[in-house]
Structure formats: structure tokens, C-alpha cells
Chain A
Amino acid sequence: MLLFLLRVTPVAAHKLSVFAWVNQQTLSVEATLSGGRHLVNGKVTIKDSGQDTVLQTGTTNRDGQFIFPLPETLINHPVDLNIIVSTDDGHRGQWLLTQDEYTTEQPSPAPVVSLKNSQTPSPPGYVTITLSREELSTMINTLLEKRLAPIQRQLALANEKKPSLSEIIGGIGYLIGLAGFATWLKNRNTN
């Protein structure tokens, strides 16, 4: 039993970071521990931020992710989502996903607009495509979501503060300074 336990990697964790994004009406949640490890089998709870009602629960997979297709009710009536990830040993992290981040404004219906004059023949190798404003908007939004999701994720990771050398030295300085202050107080009271 000991040998099997030693084969795995027990690393004590300090902080649980959660990041969530929506791509093509699918909500993805990613949970990582300090040190960059993926959180496996973490408990995911998705709540309506305003009413604090639980909308969905689940667990993270081997990649530390939980993927949840947004239901029609949520797409039609979006709310701010509070995504909470927790572990059984007391670690907890959360992410607020506002409705603006996963709803797309639908343009008002408009007549079909041809992108090319239908009377003009297409050159060889080209195909004439006719799209409505609505279809064009949906296509652009889908592509943007797909392209922006990794960038948003990298931004969130970059914003995660890791302990810097200056903070560590500052903390040590505080401790030594407190000791010096305590010594001064003690000597002052003695004198």
C-alpha cells in the first residue's frame, strides 16, 4: 500500500484557481491548484448568482475541466453564473461568469442581402454565397468565441498572482521587524 502511494504525486495545495468560458453555447470550467496542477474530481457547482439557486453540479475530469452545454432556458433567459469548485479537504475557488460574456445580441430580422450581384457570373473557382445579416452575425460571433477563449484563459492565468521573491523577502522582513518591535516593547517596559 505504501509503495502504491509513493508512486503517485502528493503535492500539498494552497490555492484553487477557477476559470470559466463559453464557446458555442458550451460552458467550460477549468480548475487548477497552485503549482499549475489540474484539479481532478473536484466538485463543480453552478449557481444563479442572483437567486443563489443551484443550476448544475458535476466533477472535473482528468484535465481539471468540467464541460456543460448551456440549456435553452439559460440561453433565452441568461443570468449571471457563480461557478464554484471545491474539494473535500477544504479548498474552494469560484468564478463569476456574467451574462454578457455568454449571450450574443441577436440583430433584428432584416431582408436577405446578397453579397454579390446575382446577375454577375462568379469567376472560375469561386462560389457565390448569400447570407442574411443574422447568419453572418452568428458566424462571426462563433468564430470570435472560438478564437478569444484561449486568449481569455491565458489572461486569467497571467492575472493569477504567484508568490514573487519580493513578497517572500517582504514577509520575512515583516517577521523579523515584528520580533524587533516586540523586543523594543519588552525592553521599554522593563526600563
Chain B
Amino acid sequence: MLVNQSRLVLTKYPGLMHISEGILSAPILVSGAALSLGGTIIGLKKLDYDRIMGVAMLSSTFFVASLIHVPAGIFSVHLLLNGLMGLILGWSAFPAILVALTLQAVFFQYGGFLVLGVNTFTIAAPAVLCGLLFRPLLMQQGKKLIIAAFCAGFFSICLSAMTMAAALYLNDHHFLKTAWLLILSHLPVMIVEGLITLFIVRFLVRVQPDILGLSSPPNNLDHET
């Protein structure tokens, strides 16, 4: 029965990312657009133009990552990498994700223009929050860096799922009963995203720590083989 319930969860909720056009009501669409606009303005003000190509590369990575379904053992997922974007870009993740989602709507009809604000806020706000929370821990040595990197990837997906559930709940209060199932259905994605973010951060810390804002790798990582 538990297996059947789990299967029901994962078939009923196909997955995160784009809310389609025609689902959400006007007040939610406007609110999402306003919040995303605010985040984008802050992101543009805080954008380091000397590193703008890095922003473009991360935006491109986000643009492509969601198109690739990666078989991971017995299941397959696609990545968002919004946790990684939050760690590296901070508030600049807002304009980066907004532009990438706009291009996905134009080229592939993923999501839509009316719902772009809500989709941007759903993905970018958790990214920024995780960046603010876990980036300081990257400066720490040892296991704190590993935990910070994993948590940034894990909780960015978790918060994105919660934000999407909140938007759907505000649209239809009957959704509250099944909102927790929506969040639970993304648990495998959260774990995979956390692990991928961890691997990428560890690689960057060794090879190019200045991307993460580190002047040099933490001492313990220099001695690892």
C-alpha cells in the first residue's frame, strides 16, 4: 500500500518547474510578477559587471540543465541548479533565472509569459535565500563546506516546491490537503540536487575558488588527494 501510495504521489505530481498558463488567478500572477521584478531590480543593482560572463554562463547552465533528463540509477531526474546559482550569484540569480525562463518560454513554450513572474520567483527566491544562508559557511573549513553545499542544493529545491505549493494553495484552497504530497514527491530530486551541488562546489573550491568568492581553497582541501 505504501508503494502504491508513493507511485500515486509521483504520478499525480509530475514534477517541479513550470506552472502552465491558465492555472493561476490574476492576483497571484500580478503578485508573482511584482516580487520577481523587485528581486530582479535588486539583482541588477548588485550585479558585478566584471563577472557578467560568469552570470551568463550560469544562466546558460540553468537553461540547458532543465532540458537534460539524467538517468540516476533506477530513476531519472533533471537538475535546476538554482542552489548553485544562489551560492555563486546571490541576488543576481534573479535576473539570470528570469532571462533563462523567458528564453525557455520563447523557444520551447515551457511555462508562459503570463506566469513568468511566478515561475521566476518560485525558482530564484529560494536560490537567493539559500545563497544568503549557506554562502558564509563556504568560508569554513572541513565538513561545514560539504554540509553547506549539500544543503544549498537540497533546500533550494525544497523551498521551490514549497513556494509552488503556496502559489497553488493561494489559487485553490482545496490544494492544502495535497500540498505536502507535492513537496514529498520532490524528495529524490532534492537529494540528487544536493549531491550534484556538493560535487560542483568541491570541484570549484579546488580549481577556481574565486568563483565562489574564496581567495584560496580551505586548508584541509589542499591536502586531499
Q: Chain A interface (Cβ within 8 Å of chain B)?
A: 1-2, 4-16, 33-35, 37, 39-41, 86-94, 161, 163, 167-168, 170-172, 174-176, 178-179, 182-183, 186
Point out the residues of chain B lying under 8 angstroms from A89, CB to CB: 13-16, 19, 164, 168, 182
Report yes or no: B17 in contact with A12, Cβ–Cβ below 8 A: yes
Chain B interface residue count, CB cutoff 8 Å, equals 60
- CA gap between A88 and B8 in the complex, in Å: 12
Report whether A4 and B20 are in contact in the complex, using a CB–CB cutoff of 8 Å: no
Interface hit among B74-82, B135-143, B196-204: B74-82
> Which 6 pairs show the lowest CB-CB distances between chains A and B?
A12-B15, A90-B19, A179-B56, A13-B14, A40-B11, A92-B20
The reply to whether B10 and A14 form a contact with Cβ atoms under 8 Å apart is no
- Chain A CB count within 10 A is highest, among B17, B74, B104, B167, for B17
Tell me whether A14 and B108 are in contact (CB under 8 A): yes
B46 close to chain A: CB less than 8 A:
no
B23 touches A7 (CB 8 A): no
- Which A residues lie within 8 Å of B66 (CB)? 12, 14
Specify the main secondary structure of chain B where it touches its partner.
helix
Binding site for A on B (CB under 8 A): 2-3, 6-24, 49, 52-53, 55-57, 59-60, 63-64, 66-67, 69, 74-78, 99-100, 103-104, 107-111, 164, 167-168, 175, 178, 182, 184-189
Count CB-based A-B contacts (< 8 Å): 161
Whether the Cβ atoms of A8 and B75 lie closer than 8 Å is: yes
Cβ contact within 8 Å between B23 and A90: yes
C-alpha spacing A186/B55, complex, angstroms: 15
Whole-angstrom CA separation of A92 from B14 in the bound complex: 11
- A178 with B49, Cβ < 8 A, contacts A9-B10, A40-B11 known: no
**B189 pairs with A12, CB closer than 8 A:** yes
CB pair A175 B13 closer than 8 Å? no
Contacts of B19 in A (CB 8 A): 89-91
Extra contacts besides A12-B16, A89-B19, A175-B63 (15): CB < 8 Å: A11-B78, A12-B66, A14-B108, A39-B11, A41-B8, A87-B12, A88-B12, A88-B178, A89-B13, A91-B19, A92-B23, A163-B108, A174-B103, A179-B53, A183-B52
**Which of A9, A92, A176, A183 is close to B76, meaning CB atoms less than 8 Å apart?**
A9
A178 to B17, CA, bound (A): 24
| Closest Cβ–Cβ distance, residue A113 to chain B (whole Å) | 52
